[in-house]
Amino acid sequence: MDKKNFLNLFKEENKDLIVKLWENIELANNIDYYIETEEFYPPNIWSILEKTNINNVRFLFKGLREDSEKKNIIIIPENFSQDMPEFNLTYFKIDGKNKFRELLHKDFLGTIMSLGIKREILGDLIVKDNIAYGVIYKEKFSFLDELEKVSNVPVKIFEIDENEIPKSEFQEIIITIPSVRFDSVVSEIANTSRQKAVTLIEEGLVMLNYNIQRDKSVEVKENDVITIKKVGKFIFSKELGENKKGKVKVLMKKFI
């Protein structure tokens, strides 16, 4: 695969980010040694790498936790014969516990971005009980040294072990839909009309298994992941049968 065909795999993505990824792939092949990206890539990029043969290169992916969207990538060239490399990542927490103010995700992320840090060098950031948990390429961790306050609340930052990251939490929702067509499911979980759901899909605002899906008629299957911009991320957990009117009952899990 050449550069042009590679870029065509990601027509709707950040071109500079994709070009850098291609350059890392070429470098890994040229030196016959693995390359770890400094950036964390969104799912609509790494999910394509997972299922596409790109010059016989192998890819390893790792994020804040297994179901995280943004993932760091290790590129392993075809002729690399040594032991599998380990990721060079630092897990951290920013402790903003206080008695007066609840700190939100946007507060932590906005403060981090104000330090001049590019969003791409951070993995997912999750917030629980006024503590933000994150992951960053190890050599970039020092960029966070200047972080002393979030929204005027004093904070402390610590390196932590990966197993200290909180597990995913879900809200279970039972929906009733005419069919498992994509537009029908999106309409119900977004609490909007079928027509509005179709518009969201056609405008590329809905992802199915981390890829933009514009086919409104595709059928959703168990364990598929649906992400709707400004609404949330859901797992199509399992079908629960039909009601008396012939509609399908489905258990959905919403990430919270």
Beta strands in 63-121 (DSSP E): 71-76, 89-95
Q: What is the pLDDT of residues 211-228, one digit of tens each?
A: 889 999 999 999 999 999
User: Could you identify the residue written with the tokens 């008695």?
Assistant: 99
Class of domain 170-255: alpha beta
Would you say the C-alpha torsion 37, 44, 52, 254 has a positive or negative sign?
A: positive
* Mean pLDDT (the chain, rounded): 94
Q: What is the pLDDT of residues 5-38, one digit of tens each?
A: 999 998 767 788 999 999 999 999 999 999 999 9
Residues of the chain with pLDDT under 50: none
Q: Where are the domains of the chain?
A: 3-76, 89-164, 170-255
**What's residue 209's pLDDT?**
87
Superfamily of domain 89-164: RRM (RNA recognition motif) domain (3.30.70.330)
Q: What is the pLDDT of residues 43-54, one digit of tens each?
A: 889 989 998 999
